[in-house]
Amino acid sequence: MAREKEEQVTMGSGNVFADLGLSNPEQRLVKAGLVLQVHNVIEERGLTQVEVASITGVAQPKISELLRGKSQGFSTDRLLRMLNKLGKDVDIIVKPMPRDVSRPARVIVAAG
């Protein structure tokens, strides 16, 4: 009888960009969360890329790139403004970290 190969599993940090050793992992994670929110709004409203371009003032080819995960050229601020133009309020909440937490400070993008 063949012996099953034992698999090793490494627990991630919660930030795939940090796990991959990429530069600015926190910023990349925030931008990815904002891009996901833009995508969700487009899906919810059934908008075409041309309509999104008209609403946001961002050229359609750039919208296409963004929706394919290419967020270079899109600052966090620009993504926040896009969400506003797409009819979403964006709240930024700053709060103290719990004292008993041994993790680094974090930034989370969540839909409400």
Reduce the DSSP state of residue 16 to 3 states and report it.
helix
pTM across the whole model: 0.80
pLDDT at 79: 97
Whether residue 42 is contained in a domain is answered as yes
Asked whether residue 112 carries a pLDDT value surpassing 80, the answer given is no
Name residues whose C-beta falls within 8 Å of residue 35's C-beta, 6 or more positions apart in sequence. Answer: 66, 67, 69, 71, 74, 79
What are the φ/ψ torsions at residue 92 (nearest 5 degrees)? -110, 120
pLDDT in tens, 12-39: 888 899 899 999 989 999 999 999 999 9
pLDDT in tens, 56-104: 999 999 999 999 999 999 999 999 999 999 999 999 888 888 887 777 7
Asked whether residue 1 carries a pLDDT value surpassing 70, the answer given is no
> Where in the sequence is the domain holding 55, given as residue range(s)?
23-85
Count of structural domains, the chain: 1
Token pair in block for residue 17: 């960009």
What CATH number is associated with residue 67?
1.10.260.40
Whether residue 50 is contained in a domain is answered as yes
Token pair in block for residue 67: 């929706």
